[in-house]
Amino acid sequence: MKRISDLKEEINLWEDLNNSILTYLDLSRSDDESMRADLETEAENLSKQIERLELSTLLSGPYDKGNALLYINSGAGGTDAQDWGEMLLRMYLRWAEKNGYSTEILDRSDGEEAGIKSVTILIDGKYAYGYLKSEKGVHRLVRQSPFDAAHRRHTSFVQVEILPEVAAEDPVVEIDPDDLVIDIYKSSGAGGQNVQKNATAIRITHKPTGIVVTCQNERSQVQNRENALKVLRGRLYDIKIREQEAHLSQLRGAYQKAEWGSQIRSYVLHPYQLVKDHRTEFEKGNSQAVLNGEIDEFIEAFLKM
C-alpha cells in the first residue's frame, strides 16, 4: 500500500506539472502585455520544478526516497577538527531547513575546548537519503586557525557517514535480539536539569560485527533504545552494501579500499575562497554560502555524474 501511495503521488506531481505547463502555454498566446512579467516568473518556477523532478529520477535505490542518518566524526586536526565538525553540522542543518526537512540530534559528544567529537542526526523527509548519500566521505578544511595564537594555516579532516533509516520489518537487515548487548547509563554533557540524574542513555553492542551505537538525546530510555536501533540497522545495511560492492569490484578485477585522508571535498577559506569536490571537479568560489547550506549544486553534480 505504501508503494502504491508513493507511485500515485509521483504520477500526480508529473500530471499537475504538465497541466500547469499547458495552462501557461495557452495564456502566453494572449496579446495582453500586462501578463508578461507574471508569465516569465511562472516559467522560471516551472523550469525549477522540472529540474528537481528530473533529478529525482536519478534516485532509484531501495532507500533513496527515505530518511537519512547523518554521522559526523572529527578526525585529524585536534580542536580545529572538532570545530570543523560543528561547522559541518551547522551546514547540514541549514541545508535541511532550506529543503523543508525536519532534523533530530540523536547523539552528540562535545569537544573539550570547542566543537564536537561526533554527532548523529536523523534527517526526516522524502529523498533525504538519496540526496545526502553524495556527502559520504572525508571533508577537508584549510583555514587560518582561530585556536592558534599565531593564526597559522591549519588543515582539518572530518568523516561524514550517511546511512538510510532502515525499517525494523525490512527483511534486508535482520537483527537477532540475542546478538545485542544493551547497556544503560546516565547521559553526559550540557543539557536540561534531568541530565546525569536518570539513567536513560543507551549503548548497544552488536556482537557479530562489534558495532557499538549510542543514543542519549531523549529523556525516555525507550525512545533512546529505538533511535539507537535505527542507527544500528543503518550501519548493518551499510556493511552489507560495502560487501556487495567489494565483491563486484573483485569480479571486475579492481578493488580500491577507501582510506582515511582520501577527501571527497576540500573547503579552502585561506589564502583564497574555494570549495571543490574532487570526484566531480565541481567547484564554487563562495565558501561562506556553501557553509550556510547551499550544497545542492554539489549534490546534483554527483548524482548526474
Nearest partner of 158 among 78, 72, 225, judged by Cα? 72
What does the alpha-carbon distance between residue 100 and residue 88 come to, in Å, rounded to a whole number? 18
* Residue 184 contacts residue 114 (beta carbons within 8 Å): no
Is residue 214 included in any domain, yes or no?
Answer: yes
Domain span including residue 126: 68-167+285-304
Separation of CA 182 from chain center:
27
What percent of the chain is modeled with pLDDT above 70?
A: 90
Q: Residue 254 — pLDDT band, cuts 50, 70, 90?
A: very low
For the segment 212-245, what is each residue's pLDDT rounded down to a tens digit? 999 987 678 888 998 999 899 999 988 888 887 7
* Domain's final residue, options 56, 83, 100: 56
Question: Which string of DSSP letters, residue by residue, matches 91-143?
Answer: HHHHHHHHTT-EEEEEEEEE-SSSSEEEEEEEEESTTHHHHHGGG-EEEEEEE
110 and 242 assigned to the same domain: no
Q: For the whole prediction, is pTM greater than 0.85? A: no
Same structural domain, 7 and 91: no
DSSP run (H or E) holding 236? helix 221-252
The domain total for the chain is: 3
- CATH number for 298: 3.30.70.1660
Instruction: Reduce the DSSP state of residue 64 to 3 states and report it.
Output: coil
- My answer on whether 206 and 122 are in the same domain is no
